[in-house]
């Protein structure tokens, strides 16, 4: 059993609290936020204890893991303070706003014999486990080429000012536009790529602010890029192209092309996303062939995307509670993984080194115009 302290009770904190029910080895000791009204609303909704200050949360000797859900600019300092207080840390992405700071945190954790782990936890999803098994079984041969999409639609033209989490926290649109969609979202694709293919060997990237006008109330914001594209070469062999944006129609799919076939994961934000498998030379399912025939005969494109291949069945559902669409991720799974590692004295699946590498990649993609090599 691990007792956790939640630092930050904004929009994403509700996703964590609602998925804690999946993990009997986690108990919330309390929560803290610099916004007293937000903290009070969050704790009242979830029935959590509230700390009077960050210092009080870190001084609670019953706490095993500090879960850092504060805005990214505050991640490094809170992580540092928590480690210095002798607490294990699980941090929302990124670990820090500079790769050097992220590496510094790993050194600090190691020096104190503490674990440092980080989001996103979608790499622990049933969909990722299924995809990894298909690759390991050689169902598509050797993976050669990967396309990862992280497009979320033109949210800045939607009524985002009215979006609220379960406990009433507003969606942090201003923050999203200032930080940039790449730093916010690339990690969901990068976590899968790292789980499947390991460390990157090099990355080339480009980013741009394509839509400087984000609507009323955003005129004075220092906007970050809202589009990025990067090409990543993995040390294990595959090459990947990853695209992040805030304007193109929603697409969070992953396509893995091997020398014998293709795997398509429809949605990296869905714990049990449909996974399509096709092998070169095999026929598509009858319905897919019929729809393709209709397109050819009519000369019209059908709405939606024809993924092709056969949908691979999952084992029986374990009954996990997940947030509603569009974020059907077991956010607390990463914390549970860390708690299990602490109890067993083994490294968590979501290691500190992984979190540092994802931070390096996300920052390189978001800033663009740079080529980086990793060793």
Model confidence pLDDT, tens digit, residues 209-222: 999 999 988 988 89
Instruction: Encode pLDDT of 70-108 as tens digits.
Output: 999 999 999 999 999 999 999 999 999 998 999 999 999
Q: Where are the domains of the chain?
A: 2-119+331-344, 123-327+353-373
Predicted local distance difference test score (pLDDT) of residue 375: 72
What pLDDT is stored for residue 363 in this prediction? 92
Residue 263 has what pLDDT? 98
Q: Which residue has the tokens 């079984």?
A: 137
313: DSSP letter: P
As a whole number, mean pLDDT of residues 344-355 equals 94
Beta bridge partners of residue 28, listed in sequence order: 4
pLDDT digits (tens, 9 = 90+) for 25-63: 999 999 999 999 999 999 999 999 999 999 999 999 999
Supply the pLDDT for residue 293: 66
Phi, psi of 185 (to 5 degrees): -120, -25
The structure's pTM equals: 0.92
Per-residue HEC secondary structure of 127-155 comes to HHHHHHHHHHCCCCCCEEEEEEEEECCCH
Name the band, by pLDDT with cuts 50, 70 and 90, for residue 283. confident
- Are 105 and 355 spatial neighbours (Cβ–Cβ below 8 Å)? no
Q: Looking at residues 265-291, what average pLDDT do you find?
A: 85
**Residue percentage of the chain with pLDDT more than 90:** 82
What is the β-pairing status of strands 65-68 and 2-7? parallel
Distance of CA 347 to the CA centre of its chain: 20
Alpha-carbon distance of 344 to 137, in angstroms, equals 30
Q: What percent of the chain has pLDDT over 70?
A: 94
For position 252, what pLDDT does the model report?
96
Selection from 336, 359, 349 nearest residue 95 by Cα = 359
Whether residue 303 is predicted with pLDDT greater than 80 in this model: the reply is no
Q: What is the pLDDT of residue 325?
A: 78
pLDDT of the residue at 305: 64
Identical fold for domains 2-119+331-344 and 123-327+353-373, yes or no, is: no
pLDDT at residue 304 in the model: 61
| Lookup: tokens for 292 | 């393709």
Mean pLDDT of the chain: 93
What token pair was written down for 102? 């992220």
Whose CA is closest to 30, among 67, 81, 1?
67
11-19 and 36-46 helices, crossing angle to 10°: 20
- For residue 18, pLDDT beyond 80: yes
DSSP reduced 3-state for 9: coil
pLDDT at 265 over 80: yes
pLDDT at 374: 82
Give dist(CA 244, CA 226) in Å, integer. 8
| CB-count exposure of residue 98 (10 Å: 0-12, 13-18, 19+) | middle
Rounded distance between C-alpha atoms, residue 26 and residue 335, angstroms = 8
Of the listed ranges 44-48, 136-140, 178-182, the one predicted with least confidence: 178-182
CATH of 2-119+331-344, one of 3.40.50.10800, 1.10.260.40, 3.30.110.60, 3.40.50.720: 3.40.50.720
Q: Tokens 């009204």 identify what position?
A: 37
pLDDT over 70 at 302, yes or no? no
| pLDDT tops 90 at residue 290 | no
133: left (phi over 0), alpha (psi -120 to 50) or beta: alpha
Categorize the per-residue pLDDT at 228 as very low, low, confident or very high, splitting at 50, 70 and 90. very high
pLDDT given for residue 64 in this prediction: 98
CATH architecture for the domain at 123-327+353-373: 2-Layer Sandwich (3.30)
pLDDT for position 309: 82
């Amino acid at each position: 059993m691990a007792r956790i302290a939640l630092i930050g009770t904004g929009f994403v904190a509700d996703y964590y609290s609602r998925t804690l029910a999946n993990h009997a080895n986690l108990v919330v000791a309390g929560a803290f936020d610099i916004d007293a009204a937000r903290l009070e609303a969050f704790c009242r909704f979830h029935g959590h204890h509230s700390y009077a200050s960050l210092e009080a949360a870190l001084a609670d000797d019953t706490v095993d893991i500090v879960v850092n859900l504060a805005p990214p600019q505050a991640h490094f300092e809170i992580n540092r303070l928590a480690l210095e207080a002798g607490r294990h840390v699980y941090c929302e992405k990124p670990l820090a706003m500079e790769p050097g700071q992220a590496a510094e945190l790993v050194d600090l954790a190691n020096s104190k014999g503490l674990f440092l782990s980080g989001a996103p936890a979608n790499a622990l999803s049933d969909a990722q486990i299924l995809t990894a098994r298909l690759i390991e079984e050689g169902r598509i041969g050797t993976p050669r080429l990967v396309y990862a999409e992280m497009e979320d639609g033109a949210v800045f033209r939607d009524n985002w000012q009215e979006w609220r989490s379960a406990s009433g926290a507003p969606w942090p649109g201003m923050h999203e536009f200032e930080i940039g969609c790449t730093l916010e979202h690339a990690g969901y694709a990068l976590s899968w790529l790292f789980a499947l293919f390991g460390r990157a060997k090099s990355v080339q990237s480009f980013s741009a602010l394509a839509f400087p006008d984000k609507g009323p109330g955003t005129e004075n914001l220092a906007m970050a890029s809202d589009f990025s594209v990067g090409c990543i070469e993995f040390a294990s062999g595959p090459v990947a192209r990853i695209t992040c944006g805030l304007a193109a129609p929603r697409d969070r799919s992953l396509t893995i092309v091997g020398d014998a076939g293709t795997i398509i994961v429809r949605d990296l934000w869905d714990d049990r996303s449909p996974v399509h498998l096709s092998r070169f030379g095999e026929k598509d399912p009858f319905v897919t062939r019929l729809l393709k025939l209709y397109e050819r005969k009519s000369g019209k494109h059908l709405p939606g995307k024809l993924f092709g291949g056969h949908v691979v069945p999952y084992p029986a559902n374990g009954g996990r509670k997940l947030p509603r669409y569009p974020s059907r991720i077991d956010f607390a799974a990463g914390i549970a993984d860390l708690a299990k590692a602490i109890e067993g004295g083994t490294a968590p699946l979501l290691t500190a080194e992984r979190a540092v590498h994802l931070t390096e990649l996300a920052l390189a993609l978001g800033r663009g115009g740079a080529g980086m090599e990793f060793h």
